[in-house]
Amino acid sequence: MAGRPRVFVARVIPEDGLRAVVEACDARVWEDELPPPREELLRAIEGCDGVLTLLTDRVDDEFLDRAGPQLRVVSNYAVGFDNVDVAACTRRGVAVGNTPGVLTDTTADLAWTLLMAAARRVPEGDRYVRGGRWKTWGPMLLLGPDVHGATLGIVGFGRIGQAVARRAMGFGMTILYHDVARLPSEIEGPLGAAFVPLDELLGRADFVSLHVNLTPETRHLMNAERLGWMKPSAVLVNTSRGPVVDPKSLYEALRDGVIFAAALDVTDPEPIPTDDPLLTLDNCLVVPHIASASRGTRGKMAAMAAANLLAGVRGVRLPTPVNPEVYEGR
Ligand code: DGY
């Protein structure tokens, strides 16, 4: 590579990372609030050595073809990377980076915010007050389930799932989890978490919080059948990826009282259309994919994504590669 590496940064990210990229590279930064339209993105990455992508940018064979054979790194500004065809990148020797770890606690905080807000009907209460309907204290007004002492079922017991469990300990909850395999007792033990089959978890939990990656196996994991296994009093929280829940089945389950409430940070599609039936329901709380949106965490994600990008364009191993196999045989 002659001169400074050429990179495209697909959105303005916090200075904590952007500055380093702009100083070290011949960088073009997409400055709009909305993601680059596909054709603009494909044009912008032509001839780049590295691209900093967001979860809204699809990285596939077409992307890699248009970027060209000199492309060395795709640094995704997210811990999730379901927008990236990792196998296609690996085949072409392109390193892929993500931002694990730094957003774990912030995401767990939001899962808890949603859990409590849905249980205690906070958004409904706020609408009730603003709508001028608050006339008196009412013994039956906006009743919901207790959180303390309840049973929490965590589906996907990785870093974020475990951080959600740690918070549940303070609420004296019984913690059940399900994952592809049982975790070692060093992890389970201190959290007092019990591994159970998914059907048992869904049948016993008062709160179900989803923390799986989006894969072909987890797409529509929460379908009509599995929603039907939940208690009618249960609350479903999703801070993972929208397509993990089948939206039509969720709508029907919430409408028909199959479950009590849902709280979603992620939807399918994203953004959720304003005329989506889910938005007509009082027992469905939706926020716009903000689980990692604290100033501190977004800064750390930016620094990490920049470090991955810069390592990649310099031909050095990424600090947090998603496809370490890309280095095999080098
Ligand atoms: C991620 O990192 O995968 C989140 O969805 C956005 O922070």
pLDDT of residue 329: 72
Q: Check pocket membership of 292 for ligand 1, CB cut-off 6 A.
A: yes
Residue 92 burial (C-beta neighbours within 10 Å; 0-12, 13-18, 19+): middle
Does the pLDDT at position 92 exceed 90?
A: yes
Q: Active-site residues: which are they?
A: 241, 270, 289
* 52 three-class SS: strand
Pocket flag, ligand 1, residue 259 (CB < 6 Å):
no
CA distance 189 to 167: 15
Nearest CA to ligand 1 atom 6: 78
The mean pLDDT of 232-260, rounded to a whole number, is 98
User: According to the model, what pLDDT value does residue 330 have?
Assistant: 72
Element (H, E) at 21: helix 15-24
- Would you kindly state where each structural domain of the chain is located, as residue ranges? 6-102+295-327, 104-286
Mean pLDDT, range 93-113, rounded to an integer: 98
Distance CA 56, CA 78 (A): 10
pLDDT averaged over every residue in the chain: 98
Q: Which is it for the CA torsion 205, 208, 212, 217, positive or negative? A: positive
| Sequence-ordered list of residues with C-beta below 8 angstroms from that of 33, at least 6 positions apart, any chain | none
Residue-wise pLDDT for 294-318, tens only, equals: 999 999 999 999 999 999 999 999 9
Measured from the CB, is residue 118 less than 6 Å from ligand 1?
Answer: no
Q: Which residues contact 109 (CB under 8 A, 6 or more apart)?
A: 167, 294
pLDDT (mean) for 255-275: 98
How much is the pLDDT for 2? Answer: 67
Residue 115 in contact with ligand 1 by CB distance below 6 A: no
Q: Which CATH number fits domain 104-286: 3.40.50.720, 3.40.50.2020, 3.20.20.70, 3.40.50.1220?
A: 3.40.50.720
What value does the mean pLDDT take over residues 229-254? 98
Rounded to an integer, what is the distance from CA 67 to the centroid of its chain? 27
Select from 3.30.420.40, 3.40.50.720, 3.40.50.2000, 3.10.310.30 the CATH code of 6-102+295-327.
3.40.50.720
* 297 Cα: distance to centroid of ligand 1 (angstroms): 11
pTM of the complete model: 0.97
The reply to whether domains 6-102+295-327 and 104-286 share a CATH topology is yes
* 29-74 tens-digit pLDDT: 999 999 999 999 999 999 999 999 999 999 999 999 999 999 999 9
